Chain A
Amino acid sequence: MPRLALPALTVALLILPVGLGLFFTLAPALGFSPTEASPGLSLAAFGDLLAWPGLPEATRLSLSTGFAATAGALAITALIAAGWEGTRAFALLQRLLSPLLSVPHAAAAFGLAFLLAPSGWLARLLSPWLTGWTRPPDWLILQDSAGLALTAGLIAKEVPFLLLMLIAARSQTRATSLARVATTLGYPRTTGWLLAAFPALYAQIRLPVYVVLAYSASVVDVAMILGPNTPPTLAVQITRWMSAPDLTLRPLASAAALWQLALVLASLAVWRLAEALAARIGRARAMSGHRGRVVERPLRALGLTLATATALAVLAGLAALALWSVAGFWAFPEAWPDTLSLKTWMRHGPMMAPTALTTLLIAATAALTALALATGCLEAEARHGLRIGPFGRLILYLPLLIPQIAFLPGLQILMLSLGLGEGLAPVIAAHLTFVIPYTFLALSGPYHAVEPRFFTAAASLGASPSARLWRLRLPLLLTPLLTAFAVGFAVSVGQYLPTLLLGGGRVSTLTTEAVALTSGGDRRAIGAYGLAQTLAALLPFALALALPRLIYGNRRGMRGG
């Protein structure tokens, strides 16, 4: 095989959908509307956008939720790892948080909404004996105009992701030994870890952090459930304009999508500057020699509290979904439903089975293909001494850094004009565009960090490149490979917009069904579908945790996380 075939194919799968989709989505913003007889350059759409009174507020919301959610999730992840890594509490938290990664964003958001609303489960559990409420208070907790509920929801969903990425990267850096050295120098564990281990680890998880930032600033489904609506975030407003039957709104939507793109890119640039600033502060702190004994206890307590609260909030939200899926009538302020019944499951079960099968089929195909491509690319890189430069890296993460709403509608128009029908194949291909980067994210750090002297030794013993790949590298990487597959699988299970647009509505997955139901608000049905989705995505994570333990039961260092 030509040595660049796999990387070229992968790059094509990443760049073509995004590039062409962007072009066909954004061209209308400049006046190139396909419905107009004589297209010409026009900036009228940007004038319309500036005239939209919600623009400053929507822009502020996108920026603030993006930064706050990313900083919050990263801080919690770092604190918990710094203060508790290697303890029983950490192992327990890790076991609690890992499955939460697979919980689809919409389901998690809905669970949180039901938990935290003024008439939510928390209020019900405390009423009326503690609060005295017989009616829910008229408090704007959810969908608040500052976007706090949205930010909290995003943090709860992103902590598991960052923690998993951190753990996957841990075994491939010297972070653990660096932290140990800091401890022997008299630093308490939290400060020592933050000063010595975190910089090395952050270098490994930098791209996942950028993805979290881009995602948080442009998320649609979570923002629809937890975010404000007067006005909504920019991404939600674009979705509304894009899906409006009134064609004349398309150029406006395109202009707004371009603006969203600029916001995301600017956020990333600002974050990059903040990194440098943080590094400078950290270095000064380290050079000062202060051991930070005073803050040790508060920091550890804070980390544990926040991480536990995160895990418990999502878990309790899931429990609320489960309870609603079997609930009879359930009035405020009752802590429990009047009756329990399987009515919801009986009603939806038969319709759910084929949908679940389609979901698993798409996810397995996409995740496996992405894993093969990612491994192939990384191996080609390793064998031929190629390095993905900063530009290549940008390409790789393009689909995650460009808001989906900015390029998927154009992609749909393009596929239709080329006469490509909708169905499973285009859906899987579109999923691949999003699954490949996540698979890379999960795999590339560990791949590069495998001790290179192993391969030198193997080569000197006469092992061919293939033998070194199959008998040495892949077995060494079993845990990261399985994790990458699980991440890809969960990403595919959670895709809404690509499934809807490229499936022409004819491919239904648990996610498209659940989001359609979310718009309706039947909590019982949402509960059932949310749980089914979660289980579908949970399966490979269970494998990623269990298989290394089974296969390498006698080798502690190979068991990974």
Chain B
Amino acid sequence: MKPLRTLAALLALALPATTLPAMAEPDPANWPEVLEAAHGQTVYWHAWGGSTTTNAFIAWVGDEVSERHGVTLEHVKLADTADAVSRVLTEQQAGQSEGGAVDLIWINGPNFAAMKRQGLLFGPFAESLPSWAMVDTTGKDVQHDFTVPVEGYESPWAMAQVVFIHDSARLPEPPRSMPALLEWSRANPGRFTFPQPPDFLGTTFLKQALVELTPDATALSRPVEEADYEAATAPLWEFLDALTPTLWRQGRAYPQTGPRQLQLIADGEVDIAISFSPGEASTAIANDQLPPSVRTYVLEGGTLGNASFVAIPFNSSAKEGAMVVANFLLSPQAQLRAQDPDVLGYGTVLSMEALSEADRAAFAALDLGPATLSPADLGPALPEPHPSWSTRLTADWITRYGIAE
């Protein structure tokens, strides 16, 4: 046992678990000072790099903040947001409390909940940003992230809501509820699938089905430990047991991400796909990634919605620069560009009432694209379940269906 104890001591020496007290933290309320300190900083923004349209948008943001504020923005393209979270965790374990590799993360849901819980985030800063005044805090739920209070530890930049994509040329009347989807899939085996959990979009499909099928949806807003999990999820598993054999490849394989699922529609392998961005289909049509006959629809009982955020790690090497980028993302120019279906097609987080006449007109004049639903057709977004539900559902789904045969 002795050598092992020596190893443990070595490990404890090499990896101080406690973090050193931080240097003087920037004060987001003192914006002129933030701007001054940000000038000349380089901000490493860790964001999922799987979508070429978001990559191009981030590159544009980089050009703008460089010109306006002298901030250099570098997009670190991730295959999975969890990579950045685990990077910050690793740094915390290694006792690196400043000069971290990650300055800004595109984040939400369980990743945010984990970082906030483990004290990995800088803040609160979001509600001190000058552009916060324009954010729609009453109509859009940007102060909760999967029911977890944001408390200024991340700044919203886009609204998302679940829509389903269908090719109207092949399927003019898509099924508009989970039972209808099951019935349709039984009649048309192999023509539907969803990204494989733990991909967030696949997990979203599980949650969307749960919200519709569970006997009491209000239980979902509390941590899963406080609910009768078996009773709440029994209808979901019954539904999935019936649906899975009718899926694409009989549920023996799944697309790994949302964009790969879209490619399946373009290839004619499936007829319906789930998306978390109401404008994604229009953008994909503009980029030749989907046929022009593609349209989107929502379910009769409504669909889940949430916001995308940016957060700043506790040990970011450029907190001021990161705040400047977060603030720029909330500017009407950036929001307008993000909502343009030729660019991103992401919903704005701003309140139209808070904007100037000219900006409001510009938003009103925006052509949302052929496949994007109007806000009225989209309907109100249903709240996300508590993040603990995502985690538990994902784990259970993997045990039940993720390890086939």
Interchain CB contact under 8 A, B44 and A506: yes
Interchain CB contact under 8 A, A245 and B89: yes
The answer for the CA separation of A504 and B1 in the assembled complex, in Å, is: 36
A422 located at the interface, meaning its Cβ lies under 8 Å from any Cβ of chain B in the complex: yes
B227 located at the interface, meaning its Cβ lies under 8 Å from any Cβ of chain A in the complex: no
The answer for the CA separation of A344 and B96 in the assembled complex, in Å, is: 40
Interchain CB contact under 8 A, B52 and A517: yes
> What are 16 sample pairs from A and B whose C-beta atoms fall under 8 A apart?
A23-B7, A53-B403, A135-B268, A138-B250, A138-B269, A230-B196, A230-B402, A230-B405, A247-B89, A412-B90, A505-B84, A516-B79, A519-B48, A519-B50, A522-B289, A524-B52
Interchain CB contact under 8 A, B249 and A520: no
From 470 to 524 in chain A, residues with beta carbon under 8 angstroms from any chain B beta carbon are: 500, 504-506, 508, 512-513, 515-524
A32, A328, A413: the one within 8 Å of B93 (CB): A413
Instruction: Chain A residues near B87: list those with CB within 8 A.
Output: 504-505
CB distance from A352 to the nearest CB of B (A): 12
A19 located at the interface, meaning its Cβ lies under 8 Å from any Cβ of chain B in the complex: no
Known A142-B253, A331-B266, A522-B259: A417·B15 in contact at CB below 8 Å:
yes
CB distance from A34 to the nearest CB of B (A): 4
B257 located at the interface, meaning its Cβ lies under 8 Å from any Cβ of chain A in the complex: yes
Interchain CB contact under 8 A, B259 and A243: no
B56 located at the interface, meaning its Cβ lies under 8 Å from any Cβ of chain A in the complex: yes
A328, A421, A522: the one within 8 Å of B52 (CB): A522
Interchain CB contact under 8 A, A520 and B56: no
| Closest A residue, CB atoms, query B115 | A245
Instruction: Chain B residues near A142: list those with CB within 8 A.
Output: 253
A39, A230, A240: the one within 8 Å of B252 (CB): A230
Interchain CB contact under 8 A, A517 and B50: yes
Interchain CB contact under 8 A, A35 and B52: no
From 158 to 185 in chain B, residues with beta carbon under 8 angstroms from any chain A beta carbon are: none
A203 located at the interface, meaning its Cβ lies under 8 Å from any Cβ of chain B in the complex: no
B362 located at the interface, meaning its Cβ lies under 8 Å from any Cβ of chain A in the complex: no
The answer for the CA separation of A139 and B190 in the assembled complex, in Å, is: 9
From 9 to 28 in chain B, residues with beta carbon under 8 angstroms from any chain A beta carbon are: 11-12, 14-17
A interface, over-half SS: loop
A287 located at the interface, meaning its Cβ lies under 8 Å from any Cβ of chain B in the complex: no
| Closest A residue, CB atoms, query B16 | A417
**14 further A-B pairs in the complex, CB-CB below 8 A; given A506-B44, A519-B79:** A34-B12, A40-B8, A53-B403, A57-B405, A138-B250, A347-B56, A351-B59, A416-B96, A417-B15, A505-B78, A513-B49, A517-B77, A520-B48, A525-B52
CB distance from B117 to the nearest CB of A (A): 10
**What is the 8 Å Cβ interface bit string for chain B, positions 110-127, against chain A (1 contact, 0 not)?**
110011001000000000
A34, A119, A333, A520: the one within 8 Å of B49 (CB): A520
| Closest B residue, CB atoms, query A133 | B268
Known A145-B404, A522-B51: A515·B256 in contact at CB below 8 Å:
no
Interchain CB contact under 8 A, B93 and A34: yes
A136 located at the interface, meaning its Cβ lies under 8 Å from any Cβ of chain B in the complex: yes
B12, B74, B94: the one within 8 Å of A416 (CB): B94
Instruction: Chain B residues near A523: list those with CB within 8 A.
Output: 263
From 45 to 77 in chain B, residues with beta carbon under 8 angstroms from any chain A beta carbon are: 46, 48-52, 55-56, 59, 74, 76-77
Known A53-B403, A140-B253: A34·B52 in contact at CB below 8 Å:
no
Query: Would you list the 4 A-B pairs with minimal beta carbon distance, nearest first?
Result: A520-B50, A138-B190, A504-B101, A521-B260
Interchain CB contact under 8 A, A230 and B267: no
Task: List residues of chain B with CB under 8 Å of any chain A CB.
Answer: 1, 4, 7-8, 11-12, 14-17, 44, 46, 48-52, 55-56, 59, 74, 76-80, 82-87, 89-91, 93-96, 99, 101-102, 110-111, 114-115, 118, 189-190, 196, 198, 248-257, 259-260, 262-264, 266-269, 288-292, 391, 399, 401-405
A35, A412, A517: the one within 8 Å of B17 (CB): A35
CB distance from A153 to the nearest CB of B (A): 15
| Closest A residue, CB atoms, query B80 | A243
The answer for the CA separation of A294 and B400 in the assembled complex, in Å, is: 53
CB distance from A55 to the nearest CB of B (A): 9
The answer for the CA separation of A504 and B198 in the assembled complex, in Å, is: 24
Interchain CB contact under 8 A, B83 and A229: no
| Closest B residue, CB atoms, query A30 | B4
| Closest B residue, CB atoms, query A501 | B87
Interchain CB contact under 8 A, B257 and A519: yes
A546 located at the interface, meaning its Cβ lies under 8 Å from any Cβ of chain B in the complex: no
B46, B51, B77, B96: the one within 8 Å of A513 (CB): B77
Interchain CB contact under 8 A, A245 and B86: yes
Interchain CB contact under 8 A, A520 and B259: yes
Instruction: Chain B residues near A327: list those with CB within 8 A.
Output: 288
Instruction: Chain A residues near B17: list those with CB within 8 A.
Output: 34-35, 37
Instruction: Chain B residues near A512: list those with CB within 8 A.
Output: 77
Interchain CB contact under 8 A, A347 and B291: no
**What is the 8 Å Cβ interface bit string for chain A, positions 36-62, against chain B (1 contact, 0 not)?**
010111000000000001100100000
| Closest A residue, CB atoms, query B88 | A245
A271 located at the interface, meaning its Cβ lies under 8 Å from any Cβ of chain B in the complex: no
Instruction: Chain A residues near B257: list those with CB within 8 A.
Output: 519-521
The answer for the CA separation of A96 and B325 in the assembled complex, in Å, is: 49
Instruction: Chain B residues near A34: list those with CB within 8 A.
Output: 11-12, 15, 17, 93
From 322 to 355 in chain A, residues with beta carbon under 8 angstroms from any chain B beta carbon are: 327-333, 339, 343, 347-348, 351
Determine which residue in A139, A229, A525 has the highest number of CB atoms from chain B within 10 A of its CB, and name it. A229
CB distance from A528 to the nearest CB of B (A): 10
A376 located at the interface, meaning its Cβ lies under 8 Å from any Cβ of chain B in the complex: no
Known A230-B401, A523-B263: A119·B79 in contact at CB below 8 Å:
no
From 219 to 242 in chain A, residues with beta carbon under 8 angstroms from any chain B beta carbon are: 224, 228-231, 240, 242
Interchain CB contact under 8 A, A519 and B80: yes
Determine which residue in B83, B96, B99 has the highest number of CB atoms from chain A within 10 A of its CB, and name it. B83
The answer for the CA separation of A527 and B74 in the assembled complex, in Å, is: 23
Instruction: Chain B residues near A218: list those with CB within 8 A.
Output: none
Instruction: Chain B residues near A118: list those with CB within 8 A.
Output: 269
A404 located at the interface, meaning its Cβ lies under 8 Å from any Cβ of chain B in the complex: no
| Closest A residue, CB atoms, query B285 | A329
Instruction: Chain B residues near A348: list those with CB within 8 A.
Output: 52
A143 located at the interface, meaning its Cβ lies under 8 Å from any Cβ of chain B in the complex: yes
Instruction: Chain B residues near A328: list those with CB within 8 A.
Output: 288
Interchain CB contact under 8 A, B110 and A521: no
Instruction: Chain B residues near A521: list those with CB within 8 A.
Output: 50, 255-257, 259-260, 262-263
A265 located at the interface, meaning its Cβ lies under 8 Å from any Cβ of chain B in the complex: no
CB distance from B311 to the nearest CB of A (A): 13
The answer for the CA separation of A409 and B94 in the assembled complex, in Å, is: 12
Known A522-B51, A522-B52: A516·B189 in contact at CB below 8 Å:
no
| Closest A residue, CB atoms, query B267 | A119
A53, A515, A518: the one within 8 Å of B399 (CB): A53
Instruction: Chain B residues near A409: list those with CB within 8 A.
Output: 90
| Closest B residue, CB atoms, query A417 | B94
| Closest A residue, CB atoms, query B198 | A240
Determine which residue in A243, A419, A518, A521 has the highest number of CB atoms from chain B within 10 A of its CB, and name it. A521
The answer for the CA separation of A242 and B87 in the assembled complex, in Å, is: 11
The answer for the CA separation of A481 and B228 in the assembled complex, in Å, is: 68
Known A34-B11, A230-B404, A521-B259: A331·B79 in contact at CB below 8 Å:
no
Instruction: Chain A residues near B399: list those with CB within 8 A.
Output: 53
